[in-house]
Amino acid sequence: MDDTLSSSFIETSVKQAVPLERMAAPVSVLYLDELEDRGIDSPKRLSAVVPNLHIPEYGSAMTSSIYLRGFGSRMENPVLGLYVDDVPVLNKNAYDMDMLDIRHADLFRGPQGTLYGRNSMCGVLSLNTLSPSVFEGVRAGFEYGSASTLTARASVYRKTENGLAIGGGIGFRHSDGFYTNSFTGEKCDPFDGLSMRLRIEKRISPEVYFENILSAGALTQGGWPYRKYDTVSGELMETSYNDICSYRRFYINEAVKLRKESSDYILNSISAIQLLLDRMDMDQDFTPRSMFTLTQSQKEGALTQEIVLKPKEGWKTEWWNWQSGAFAFWKFNRMSAPVVFKKDGIDELILGNANSNIPDDIAGGHDAPLAILEESFPIGSLFGIHTFGAAAYHESYFSFGRFLLTAGIRLDYEGNIMSYCSDAEINYRFKPTMKDWKKFETLYKGRTDNHYVEVLPKVSLTYDMGDLGGNGSAHAFASISKGYRSGGFNTQIFSDILQNMMMNGLMADLGVYMDDAGAAVKAEDTAYRPEKAWNYEIGANIDIRNTGHFHGAASVFLINCKDQQITLFPPGESTGRMMANVGRSRSVGAEASASYEIAGLAVSASYGYTDARFTEYDNGNADYSGNRIPYSPEQTFSARAGYTFSFHKDGFRSLSINADCSAIGRIWWDEANTLVEPAVIQLGTDMTLGFKWFDLRLRMDNLTNEDYNVFYFKSVGNSFFQRGKPFRWTAGIRINL
């Protein structure tokens, strides 16, 4: 595609104040062509391509666990902020999106708290969609591959005579799925997804530029191909579960961007409305047994508003540039998350625990003196969660000769208010004494809140090492910055809370009181605080353009994190998980990337190393201080080499052959560091035959069919793994008119 889309001088966002190479943060930039060539159709596929980034593909599209520089989490708030056309995506459930016509993806590593605030503790991924003001034409593509995976997309970008630029695209993806559920004999991860975008731009006055970006998507899929792991024999069983696992999602985002430019300033306003509706059905025990299921449906609406003010010639001086901004958001999530206990779950998880505590004398000769009439019953959980925040920030850029000093500060306020209502109703009988069933109801409702203020400073210094004799540029930088990840509520633990309440209440109803009932978790205990991190970093980048084009960058960093949010599995055969601020940790690491292009040859590589460990983490049962932080890889590596043969003919124009390699690992799966996933290397290749109006493409991933795990967890005392995707191929056509 003939474009301006591979230039490094594209403004990455309205907040970019200095060229990327002068920024005191490492940035990975991928342009549309490379994204499509490498098959990067979702943010998850950026793993390893961006050093120290790991977004494992497991579960479903709802699961977007992001690990960057040693930090991350399986649930709740991410460490990486996602912005699409300068609009923050507020719900992590929408992170796994179809990257339809992404003009360029920029991943800023290290805390971007000063400009981006919440959840940018380890970085920001900024996706910029193709704009009809910079590209006119028709784009289309059709691909087919392994597991009957089919993608089709089409988009049109036009400018009208009256200055209106309009572009729209639609994409569809289907897959039969890669994993088989041996219980049903069918694929458990089929996928159907549809996404669309409509972008309208117009200069509505000499000073004001208007953009409207409407995007929407819907998907329905299976998933969660988890395999039970026998911890004694080390054997990994087949995926086998009996209840429905599915995920459905619909989202619609509407953004209005206004840019007013005068001789003195540029004022950007970005307003957005986000709506997300989703529903997840999950066999929570992931076994063929009828233990318990979770159905979680969310209806979330959000509003965001950001204003960014930058000076132009009239206001800025040769040595001082700056930007100031304000941000506010509000979102409301109405979530229903009933856990249905089924027969095996009632017998084992509820009655098993209760009956084991009833002494033989009292049991009156009954093996299971306490009985529940229902074959299954739901523990209902309804939540209404308001999350709101406001922020003000400023960054100044002082130029002194070859030095650029950046100093910034941001003040963030965030509040969360949660209304909750959990209930359950059962009929029970204590066999030694009761002839009839007795109804027992449990209700837990109330409201709790959580508020906090964060101050996020940043100081950095960039040194310009000159133009290398007119052949390029080189810069070195040092930075200190702070970021944070928002706090919130552990909604997933409420079924456990109610389960405990129900059993204690039922026993009290019987007039039986346990000596060791234990401290019950209450709603207010489910709130967790923000996780905060200070990042210290030095680095350099070099760009040389002579006969070829070489770009290289490297940095080393130290991150000190406190109030780290860790997903905990409550002890025993509990059903929930909860986030807790369990201690402190630190991460030291290094990142490097390089690329070289000459004639038809293009070679690139990136490498990331992280040593991330708990420095203080004692959960009361064990002290994990000094252990590796689980789930985040120690190393990431990605390399790609390709050659494009150009034929300069009207018909067959080029042949491009590329090979790539990515490696991720080791990954520690638990806090005790007893389970380790070795590094896995995956090879891929793609070939493109370029014609005047279209390209024919073939891509293959995981050429050696590596067998590896992408996820581990425990549920009801059982351990599970998910295997990574096997070898797969895709062939198709890409049309550019």
Partner 1 sequence: MRKKIYCILTAISCLFCSCEKAPTIVTEDTPEFSGKMTVLYDGESFEQSGVKVSAELSTDGNTVDIMMHKVKFVPSMPVRIDVTIMDVPVIQSDGGTWTFAGDDITPWAMGGYYDTYRVDDLYGTISENAIELSLDFFNTKKGEGYPTSYSGRK
Q: What are the residues binding partner 1 (CB under 8 A)?
A: 357-359, 361-362, 364-365, 429-430, 432-435, 438, 507, 509-516
Distance CA 445, CA 383 (A): 10
Burial class (CB in 10 A: 0-12, 13-18, 19+), 158: middle
Q: How far is the CB of 709 from partner 1 (least distance, A)?
A: 41
Q: What is the DSSP letter of 366?
A: -
DSSP-assigned beta bridge partners for residue 715: 718
CB of 450 to partner 1, least distance (A): 36
**Which residue, 516 or 650, has its beta carbon nearer to partner 1?**
516
CB of 425 vs partner 1, minimal distance in Å = 17
CA distance 60 to 66: 14
DSSP summary character for residue 46? G
Select 400 or 513, whichever has its Cβ closest to partner 1.
513
Nearer to partner 1, 206 or 511 (CB): 511
H-helix or E-strand containing 601? Answer: strand 601-616
Please, what is the minimum distance in Å from the beta carbon of residue 428 to partner 1? 9
Between 318 and 515, CB nearer to partner 1: 515
**Residue in 160, 164, 187, 184 with CA at minimum distance from that of residue 176:** 187
Whether 123 and 107 have beta carbons less than 8 Å apart is answered as yes
* Alpha carbons 160 and 712: distance in angstroms, whole number: 53
Smallest distance from partner 1 to CB 146, Å: 57
Shortest spacing between CB 490 and partner 1, in angstroms:
30
Rounded to whole angstroms, the Cα distance separating 27 from 8 reads: 11
- State the minimum distance, in angstroms, from the CB of residue 352 to partner 1: 16
Q: Which strand (E) or helix (H) includes residue 35? A: helix 32-37
Token output for 622:
């064990």
Instruction: For the CB of residue 510, give the shortest distance to partner 1 in the complex, in Å.
Output: 5
Report in angstroms how near the CB of residue 362 gets to partner 1 at its nearest.
7
- Asked whether 553 and 33 are in contact (CB, 8 A), the reply is no
Q: How far is the CB of 503 from partner 1 (least distance, A)?
A: 13
Phi-psi label, residue 648: left if phi above 0, alpha if psi -120 to 50, beta otherwise:
left
Tokens of 179: 């994993």
Nearer to partner 1, 168 or 505 (CB): 505
- The residue among 453 and 514 lying less far from partner 1, judged by its C-beta, is 514
| The amino acid at 295 | T
**C-alpha distances out from residue 123 to 18, 72, 80, 350, 374, Å:** 17, 11, 5, 43, 49
- H/E run at residue 477: strand 472-485
Helix H or strand E segment including 536 = strand 531-545
Amino acid sitting at position 270: I
Q: Which is nearer to partner 1, 163 or 572 (CB)?
A: 572
- Closest approach, Cβ 364 to partner 1, in A, equals 5
Q: Is the CB of 2 or the CB of 361 nearer to partner 1?
A: 361
Q: From the CB of 371, what's the least distance to partner 1, in Å?
A: 12
Angle at 709 between CA 616 and CA 56, to 5 degrees: 70
- Nearer to partner 1 among residue 313 and residue 436 (C-beta): 436
Nearer to partner 1, 433 or 646 (CB): 433
Least spacing, CB of residue 514 vs partner 1, in Å: 6
d(CA 195, CA 175): 15
Choose among 242, 173, 206, 215: nearest CA to 84: 215
Q: Of 435 and 648, which has the nearer Cβ to partner 1?
A: 435
User: What is the 8-class DSSP label of residue 235?
Assistant: P
Phi, psi of 721 (to 5 degrees): -125, 155
Q: State in angstroms the smallest separation of the CB of 511 from partner 1.
A: 3
* CA 444 remoteness from chain centre: 32
Residue of 77, 73, 56 whose CA lies nearest to 567: 73
Residue 497's H or E segment, with its range, is helix 494-510
Structure tokens at 445: 């409702």
| Strand residue runs (E) in 208-264 | 208-221, 227-229, 236-239, 246-261
The count of residues in the chain is 737
